[in-house]
Amino acid sequence: MDHTFKTASVGEGNVSFMVMGDSRNNPTPWKKVADAAASEDFDFTLFSGDMVGDGPMLQEWKAFFDSAPKLLSKAPFMTVLGNHEFCSPLYFTLFAMPGNEAWIWSSVGIGKRKD
């Protein structure tokens, strides 16, 4: 199943975001957390790593995505590479960077910047 998402709105108002992490290979509690989070009002999600328990295992990624369609399609979903992803090629395929670089950092501008 393909998933889509909405981009952040352009504006000068406040920016709110959801922070979560360490779902590993636990689809049932992950679904509960993801569904509860999706009911909130926020501009993007930052996931702090360990989305799966074993990064090279495709079935774990499928369970991660299939358990959270509401959250993943609601707003941009930005990830941090965790030790359980093991710098897996699957991570870099599923979360491709612009130009598909395999760097372990990125930068995204959202909202009005305060100098």
Output the tens digit of pLDDT for each of the chain's 115 residues. Answer: 566 656 656 766 788 999 999 999 899 999 999 999 999 999 899 999 999 999 999 999 999 999 999 999 999 898 888 889 877 889 888 887 666 565 555 566 666 655 5
User: DSSP assignment, residue 111?
Assistant: S
The answer to whether residues 45 and 17 touch, using CB atoms and an 8 Å cutoff, is yes
Within a domain: 8: no
- Residue 25 belongs to domain spanning: 17-100
CA dihedral 17, 23, 24, 30 (to 10 degrees): -130
Within a domain: 26: yes
Show the beta-strand stretches assigned E in the chain: 17-20, 44-47, 77-79
Number of separate domains in the chain: 1
Within a domain: 22: yes
